[in-house]
């Protein structure tokens, strides 16, 4: 039986219908003489029309709320399906090397609260900044824009490895515009986020590779930068080529041949460690890597002397 039908059973009788029972004067429970204590439904409840309308409004409110819940749930499902569709398109464009189309797609959703969309937008902004045809002014704007998207992704989901990874990458990029002091200070934060990304997803080769770059960068830091770091910080960041090599190899084990730059840096690190044979092996692999992106093409052009 519907809710409206159930409620209708309790509505007061119409005027002229059989009256309800009367409680006679002096009946147990009454105080003295009750006079006309007739307990008809409409007399107790007041105006029967008003009461009926109240119950009907309550029923309608109930059904309205139920309808609102159904519509709200449907809207959430539809929104989730739409996000999934956008992510599929975005990943297809990324794999196809369509950097600018990907950026144009994702910027339509820059006000999104979805971490998956936001970290991809951070990556897309950075990738456009890296294009050779992007002007220096546009590049700077895109670098800071990418950092904001990555920061928002991290705020929305601190348990997402990609949010940590891209926040660290974008923070590192911003350091190029903020001087050596800021760059060194940010290095600690960058390292923490790369380590967190690896902890959250040990199978993400890119995060492991980036931790290798962090080690490589501080292993080859010029003496004057190291001196500045020592003056600014009690314990400046430092690392070794051996640690960098460990991360590059680990990344390759997780996902073999995943990234041209990882191959290149394996070769360069072996050169730093004076192992020319292995350096030549990895540098040749980097040279023969099929170029899918502009960065791959740039990697092929970098050929250290063995």
139-176 pLDDT, tens digit per residue, is 999 999 999 999 999 999 999 999 999 999 999 999 99
pLDDT at residue 31, as a whole number: 39
**Euclidean distance between CA atoms 207 and 192, whole angstroms:** 12
pLDDT at residue 183, as a whole number: 87
With vertex at residue 248, the alpha carbon angle to CA 244 and CA 177, rounded to the nearest 5 degrees, is 65
3-state secondary structure 32-56: CCCCCCECCHHHHHCCHHHHHHHHH
**Euclidean distance between CA atoms 250 and 215, whole angstroms:** 14
Q: CB-based contacts of 140: which residues, under 8 Å, 6+ apart?
A: 177
pLDDT at residue 54, as a whole number: 61
248-263 per-position pLDDT tens digit: 999 999 999 999 999 9
Answer yes or no: is pLDDT of 291 > 90.
Answer: no
Give yes or no for a contact between 141 and 135, defined as CB atoms under 8 angstroms apart. Answer: no
pLDDT at residue 55, as a whole number: 57
> How far is CA 35 from each of CA 31, 177, 183, 200, rounded to the nearest angstrom?
11, 93, 93, 80
Question: Which domains does the chain carry?
Answer: 77-178 (1.25.40.10)
Q: State the number of CA atoms in the 13 A half-sphere of 57 facing the CB.
A: 6
Answer yes or no: is pLDDT of 58 > 80.
Answer: no
**Euclidean distance between CA atoms 166 and 118, whole angstroms:** 10
Give yes or no for a contact between 56 and 7, defined as CB atoms under 8 angstroms apart. Answer: yes
């Amino acid at each position: 039986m519907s809710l409206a039908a159930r409620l209708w059973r309790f509505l007061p009788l119409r005027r002229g219908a059989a009256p309800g029972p009367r409680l006679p004067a002096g009946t147990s429970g009454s105080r003295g003489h009750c006079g006309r204590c007739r307990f008809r439904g409409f007399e107790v409840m007041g105006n029967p029309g008003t009461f009926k309308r109240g119950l009907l409004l309550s029923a309608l409110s109930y059904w309205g709320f139920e309808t609102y819940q159904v519509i709200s749930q449907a809207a959430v499902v539809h929104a989730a399906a739409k996000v999934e569709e956008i992510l599929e398109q975005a990943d297809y464009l990324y794999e196809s090397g369509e950097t600018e189309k990907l950026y144009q797609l994702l910027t339509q959703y820059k006000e999104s609260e979805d971490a998956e969309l936001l970290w991809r937008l951070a990556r897309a902004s950075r990738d456009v900044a890296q294009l050779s045809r992007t002007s220096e002014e546009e590049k700077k704007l895109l670098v800071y824009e990418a950092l904001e998207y990555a920061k928002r992704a991290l705020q929305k989901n601190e348990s997402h490895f990609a949010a940590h990874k891209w926040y660290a990458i974008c923070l590192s990029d911003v350091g190029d515009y903020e001087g050596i002091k800021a760059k060194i200070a940010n290095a600690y934060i960058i390292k923490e986020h790369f380590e967190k990304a690896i902890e959250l997803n040990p199978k993400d080769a890119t995060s492991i590779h980036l931790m290798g770059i962090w080690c490589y960068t501080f292993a080859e830091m010029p003496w004057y930068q190291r001196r500045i770091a020592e003056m600014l910080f009690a314990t400046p960041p430092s690392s070794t080529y051996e640690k960098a090599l460990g991360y590059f190899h680990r990344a390759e084990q997780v996902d073999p041949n995943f990234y041209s730059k990882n191959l290149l840096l394996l070769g360069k690190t072996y050169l730093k460690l004076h192992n020319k044979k292995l350096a030549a092996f990895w540098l040749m692999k980097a040279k023969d890597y099929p170029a899918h992106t502009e960065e791959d093409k740039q990697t092929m052009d970098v050929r250290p002397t063995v």
